[in-house]
Chains A and B, each alone.
Chain A
Amino acid sequence: MQILKMKISFTEEQNTFRQEIRSWLVANLPKEKLKSLDTKEGFEQHREWEKTLNSGNWSMVTWPKEYGGRGLNLIEWLIFEEEYYRVEAPTRVNQNGVFLLGPTLMEFGTDDQKNKFLNAMASGDHIWAQGWSEPGAGSDMAAIRTTAVLEDGFFVINGQKTWSSRAAYADYTFGLFRTDLESERHHGLSFILAPLDLPGITVRPIPQLDGEPGFAEIYFDDVRVPVENMIGGEGDGWKIAMATAGFERGLMLRSPARFQQTAAKLLSLYLENESQCSPAIQAKIVEAWAKSESYALSIYHTASKMMSGASIGSESSLGKIFWSELDYMMHETALKILGASAELDEEQHQNAAQWIKGFMFSYAGPIYAGTNEIQKNIIAERLLGLPR
């Protein structure tokens, strides 16, 4: 039996590691704020930043060294994230790749696939978009209709994906395609990786609430993708996608650091404007701190359990609801504190413009990665044992 001693604090080595990241970030952070990653120019700036990160082996610290990682554990990844958010380093333009597809490839990919894709992902040479949703398949992902028919070593793909984040400028997409045309629901789907510059692909960017094309539609018209680009076997797609979705809802997509930093910023915003605030705002400030603190504790608890051999399943749905509601609440509170300044743009009020941008994005949290209503269904059915 494993002898475990509880320790809810960092070791010397972990603190040294933190210092190492901190100094590297100070030395390497872009001197000027990058343009939005949803503009062509900003996207390339963010790609450059991914390359810089990779030059320091910081793309994904938990990956094995051979794929550009450092072979570190989840706790060290959390420390990395904390330092990263603490200095407000640029948004990871390749988060779909490094946080979602990466772990999927690590678990289900062949050696050839790992060799082909992981290093290029770590270096930012391949930026990835996710292709699950379709016009008729949102919450009901098993309704996917885009087909991929095998013909002499190639999948011939026809159909349409939508809401694909980063797809406007990305290099590749991964997603589920119906390879068995007779199949229904979650049977007969396969997990396929497709370059976005192939003949027959049309990407139509969709402006989001902030006016920028943060996601896109992808049309496939007889697009030929080599069969080597399938992860796992034909018909295994659903199972593999569920694992990816688990990474997304679980630890990887939203590490606690961003929420802890938002709660801290909210408190400073409050202190700057304290004289105009009612006690109701105080209550929200406390709620923001308490919940982001709880989220961090919960993730450290989960990471520790995973490192001791446990795996997470439907529990990740609990976290997804929690952080997305928290994020919305914090941004809503910030706007209340800002009062009539809340609507002003960058030139008028730098701070307000950032909060309202974050506020708009916080509306998306309860929708993407599976809506919160769907998460509640999952919790009720799989954790509480209620009937479907």
Chain B
Amino acid sequence: MKFVFTEDQLQFQDTMRGFLSQECTPDSIRSGWVDKQPLNQQRWNAIAELGVLGANLSEEDGGLGVDQVALALMVEEMGYVALPEPIAEQSFLINDVLHLFPDQIQDAIRAEFNEGKEYIAVSHPQNPHPVFLSEAKGLIMIDETSCHFVKPSDVSSELIKSNDPSRVLSRILGVKNTISSDDNFQQLNQEINSRGTLLTASLLLGLSQKMLDLSSAYVLDRNQFGKPIGSFQAVKHMLADIAVAIEFARPAVYRASYSLLETNPKSALHCAHAKYMAVKAAELACKNSIQAHGAMGYTWEMDLHIYMRKSWSLMACWGNDDYQQNIIFNTLRSSDDELGVLYTF
């Protein structure tokens, strides 16, 4: 038992943080909104050049072979800056399950995605509206009984607006010329679901931390009654509550990542747990952060909502906490193993 990160894992996180703090500022996100081009091609290319897009592909597939735990740390950083590019919940997701697809679909993905440097979108019952479909080189549509790969030119779709201007969504109306397979996809579907769940949980951790940091800075700066509002206990306690919620969501996310890495038979439960805790933390972070900002938090001008909007979306897609609650409940209820202390590791 050694629940600590390796130097390598922390190094990946640091690199990501350093890079994103420069490349993904609130201003750059806002200008993407104004131009109606939230996906920033230049940033995407810069990230690709770092090798990040294929980070978790095996070295044979042209990637860096980054493990799921380091990935979770990197993704947390993507959440922290509300990165609009769907690298975590789409690129990393597909990379991670690539080897599990039926051969002909694997070949089709490999032919299009240029060692992870191009983008493949996913449509799944928990993520029905893929983001940035127009930028994708392919679309995977999967549920429990079918799996299709289709080229963008063969997809008919319409754009739908998200409450988060950083997310451009599509509704799929029809597809043709699909490469399909009608096997039983319960397993693959589950693996994709777990990863979508976990990657959005990691993003939410970063987002929650960002909202807490913004709020801590704001309440130090803003004065009322002749002193910083951060000296009032009611305000302190709201922020302390966020800190507690984040603290106990974190290890759940890290453990779930490790479970995927080790193909732990309980990984689906662990991913559900991670998202459940991360959603609770993010909900509180949104609620208490806006309260700590007063009316300022309720404006378009203040940056806080960049992170709130992304959080609201990510809480809802790839299974919200209610969905995860059902998974957890059904798993515990039908467990043949002894619950309690022996069930954790």
Contact = CB atoms under 8 A, between A and B. Distances in A.
Interface of A: 1, 3-11, 14, 75, 82-83, 85-86, 256-257, 260-261, 263-265, 267, 271, 282-283, 285-286, 289-291, 293-298, 300-301, 303-305, 307-308, 315, 318-319, 321-322, 373, 375-377, 379-381, 383-388
Given A260-B344, A264-B339, A8 B1 contact: yes
Given A4-B7, A6-B9, A282-B329, A322 B255 contact: no
Interface string B1-26: 11111110100000000000000000
Contact of A290 (B2, B228, B277): B277
Given A4-B4, A271-B333, A387-B230, A297 B341 contact: no
A256 B333 CA distance: 22
In order of increasing CB-CB distance, the 9 nearest A-B pairs are A380-B236, A264-B340, A297-B251, A82-B341, A376-B240, A379-B240, A264-B339, A386-B230, A304-B3
A294 B1 contact: no
Contact of B240 (A271, A283, A380): A380
B344 A297 contact: yes
B145 interface: no
B243 A384 contact: yes
A383 B332 CA distance: 35
22 contacts: A4-B2, A4-B7, A6-B2, A6-B4, A9-B262, A10-B345, A11-B1, A271-B333, A286-B325, A290-B276, A294-B273, A297-B252, A298-B250, A300-B3, A304-B3, A318-B247, A318-B248, A375-B240, A379-B236, A383-B243, A385-B220, A387-B228
A211 to B, nearest CB: 30
A350 B262 CA distance: 43
Q: Which of A10, A260, A319 has the most CB of B within 10 A?
A: A260
Nearest to B4: A304
B258 interface: yes
Given A294-B249, A373-B237, A387 B1 contact: no
A82 B241 CA distance: 28
Given A6-B2, A289-B332, A86 B340 contact: yes
Given A267-B332, A296-B344, A297-B251, A384 B5 contact: no
Nearest to A298: B251
B65 to A, nearest CB: 16
Given A4-B4, A82-B342, A387-B231, A301 B251 contact: yes
A304 B339 contact: no
Contacts of B262: 9
Given A289-B332, A386-B236, A6 B258 contact: yes
Interface of B: 1-7, 9, 69, 212, 216, 219-220, 227-228, 230-231, 233, 235-237, 239-241, 243-244, 247-252, 254-255, 258-259, 262, 273, 276-277, 325, 328-329, 332-333, 338-345
A387 B232 CA distance: 9
Contact of B3 (A6, A265, A283, A380): A6
A254 to B, nearest CB: 14
B243 A387 contact: no
Contacts of A267: 332-333, 339
Contacts of B216: 384-386
Looking at chain B's contact residues, is the secondary structure mostly helix, strand, loop, or mixed?
Answer: helix
B239 A384 contact: yes
A80 B255 CA distance: 22
Nearest to B339: A264
B101 to A, nearest CB: 28
Contacts of B344: 260, 293, 296-297
B244 A322 contact: yes
Q: Which of B3, B243, B249 has the most CB of A within 10 A?
A: B3
Nearest to A78: B1
Nearest to B220: A386
Contact of A318 (B220, B231, B244): B244
Nearest to A323: B248
Nearest to B247: A318
Contacts of A315: 247
A298 B248 contact: yes
Contact of B243 (A263, A379, A388): A379
A85 B255 contact: no
A304 B240 CA distance: 24
A343 to B, nearest CB: 27
A14 B1 CA distance: 9
A383 to B, nearest CB: 6
A267 B339 CA distance: 9
B340 A290 contact: no
Nearest to A268: B339
Contacts of B7: 1, 3-4
A388 B241 CA distance: 17
Nearest to A266: B339
Contacts of A385: 216, 220
Contact of A322 (B1, B228, B230, B247): B247
Contact of A294 (B243, B277, B341): B277
